[in-house]
Amino acid sequence: MLLSVRSSMRFLKTAILFAIGAAAVSFAQNQANTAALTPQESRMATTIDANGAADRALLEQLVNINSGTMHLPGVVAVKDVLAPRLRTLGFHVRWVPMEAVTGRAGDLVAEHPCPSGTGHCGKRLLLIGHMDTVFEPSSTFQHYAPLDSAGKAATGPGVADMKGGLVIMLSALNAMKQAGALNTAEIQIVLSGDEERAGDPLEKARHDLIEAAKESDVALEFEPSLRADGQDTISIARRSSTMWHIEATGLSGHSSQIFSNQFGYGAIYELTRILDAFRTQLPEDGLTYNVGLVLGGSTAKMNADQTGGDATGKDNVIPPTAIAYGDLRTVSNEQTVRAQDKMRAIVAQHLPKTDAKISFIESYPAMAVTPAGRELLRQWSDASEALGLGPVTEGGPMTRGAGDISFVASYIPGLVGVGALGKGSHAEGETIFLDSLLSQGKRNAVLMERLSHQPSGH
């Protein structure tokens, strides 16, 4: 009996030691998967830390240049700050004016060819950004300002969306240059001047971006991202953006005859029917459809900018016209088609003696979640952990609007939100968390360096 107990104890001890050994192997494998920093990557991180003050000064300079979307001289002024810095880093830089083509500012395009020849520097990288903001010269929100004495946050027009991202892009590329990592990298950069209000026609306004994507393997979009409950996030999908316009008509007459067989329901009731049917019949996950502006009456006319208009009418006159503008956002292009088909069907079910038509203006396609995108997210988080910054979680497409990376999503996978971390984008008081200039710069530098050692798909 005693021998049996001793045998059992030896067996238990062996099992415990085996379990401990297995756990140690598993831990070592996990550590290997996150790939600790190489000496070159450590040098890049050190460079970014050393240049922190200069990066903040550059951010303040850029924010204090008003580059509202339709303020072309301001966008060009931002370009004039960025272009020489890119040339110093070894990029071939060109300005593509768009004023004569789309009535908007142009694109800043920069190319860093592989020193060993095209296709011999691993994955070809496309860096995406924009130089404009939503704050025009008439805005009261014009200047960069620190929010605390400790230097943790600052506010200003476009400070996060996305002048902070531009600074982070330059910081990461400079760190790669100083560490010799650009010697094995092939990178294209396309910075648009009108991202906040995409130019028209889109095929011309986004021509440079799309052509660059056709020659690339991975896209990194330097838009801002969020910090939720102390956790940094990044996205691998963006929703589409489509504008819709409804024109409803009806017969006009004395209000005492409303709903009669002769005069019917009038244009405003027809439009109301349609909008309420959208509310009740369209809902599905990931889909939103906002009504932004409604006009109706005896006359109704939208202004040229589609930001307002004029309407006339009387309480005792059946309104013959009504119009509505809104937008539609989807998580996939298939969802866009499905929603638009439903909306057309709803519009076609007219009330008596009325008519209505709906039209759609496509602005941005959707960027759907893909396995390749999830793999990029894993590599971004691995780089973050190797830097001692902790893991990064996925921010879903519902946390952000549309963006330029969606135009290239059908060609290559990408990451959304590798720029600054902050809050309040597009509103007065927009804020950047200044520590993200360092953390995001390091993550970008390490990820780009690692991607440059992975085989190109071309």
Q: Do 286 and 214 fall into the same domain? A: no
- Domain end marker among 364, 387, 407: 364
Which secondary structure element, helix H or strand E, spans residue 27, and what is its range?
helix 2-34
Q: Do 52 and 152 fall into the same domain? A: yes
Is 77 part of any domain?
A: yes
- What percent of the chain has pLDDT above 90? 79
Relative orientation angle of helices 435-451 and 164-179, to the nearest 10 degrees? 50
Q: What does DSSP assign to residue 184? A: G
Q: Is 228 exposed, middle or buried (0-12, 13-18, 19+ CB in 10 A)?
A: exposed
Q: Residue 304: what pLDDT?
A: 87
Is 440 part of any domain?
A: yes
Please say if the pLDDT value at position 300 is more than 60: yes
Is 11 part of any domain?
A: no
Is 4 part of any domain?
A: no
CATH code: domain of residue 254: 3.30.70.360
- Domain encompassing residue 170: 39-238+367-451
Q: Is 367 exposed, middle or buried (0-12, 13-18, 19+ CB in 10 A)?
A: buried
What average pLDDT is seen over the chain? 91
Beta bridge partners, 299, equal 312
Beta bridge partners, 248, equal 322, 356
Q: Do 143 and 118 fall into the same domain? A: yes
- Domain end marker among 342, 364, 386: 364
Please say if the pLDDT value at position 176 is more than 70: yes
Q: Do 111 and 170 fall into the same domain? A: yes
CATH code: domain of residue 413: 3.40.630.10
pLDDT tens for residues 12-53? 444 444 444 444 444 444 444 456 999 999 999 999 999 999
Q: Do 58 and 177 fall into the same domain? A: yes
Nearest to 321 by CA among 347, 301, 345: 301
- Domain end marker among 364, 391, 410: 364
Please say if the pLDDT value at position 223 is more than 80: yes
Query: How many whole angstroms separate alpha carbon 430 and alpha carbon 147?
Result: 11
Q: Do 349 and 378 fall into the same domain? A: no
pLDDT tens for residues 384-428? 999 999 999 999 888 787 889 999 999 999 999 999 999 999 899
Q: Residue 143: what pLDDT?
A: 96
Q: Do 110 and 252 fall into the same domain? A: no
Q: Do 311 and 225 fall into the same domain? A: no
Q: Do 191 and 262 fall into the same domain? A: no
Is 7 part of any domain?
A: no
pLDDT tens for residues 63-72? 999 999 888 9
Is 1 part of any domain?
A: no
Give how many domains the chain has, as a whole number.
2
Relative orientation angle of helices 52-63 and 164-179, to the nearest 10 degrees? 150
- Average of pLDDT values for 318-326? 98
Query: How many whole angstroms separate alpha carbon 111 and alpha carbon 418?
Result: 20
The phi, psi pair for 424, rounded to 5°, reads 75, 25
Nearest to 67 by CA among 173, 195, 155, 178: 195
Task: Provide the b/e sequence for 301-320 (b: ≥16 CB within 10 Å).
Answer: ebeeeeeebebebeeebbbb
Q: What is the pTM of this model?
A: 0.85
- What percent of the chain has pLDDT above 70? 91
- Of 174-183, 294-303, 400-409, the range with the lowest mean pLDDT is 400-409
- Average of pLDDT values for 121-139? 95
Q: Do 353 and 390 fall into the same domain? A: no
- Other CB atoms within 10 A of residue 330 CB: 25
Q: Do 58 and 167 fall into the same domain? A: yes
Please say if the pLDDT value at position 275 is more than 60: yes
Cβ atoms of 191 and 82 closer than 8 Å:
yes
Is 14 part of any domain?
A: no
Q: Do 162 and 289 fall into the same domain? A: no
Is 8 part of any domain?
A: no
Please say if the pLDDT value at position 175 is more than 50: yes
Predicted confidence band of residue 301 (pLDDT cuts 50, 70, 90): very high
Query: How many whole angstroms separate alpha carbon 148 and alpha carbon 161?
Result: 20
Q: Residue 447: what pLDDT?
A: 98
pLDDT tens for residues 58-114? 999 999 999 998 889 999 999 999 999 999 999 999 999 988 777 778 899 999 999
Nearest to 367 by CA among 343, 400, 340, 323: 400
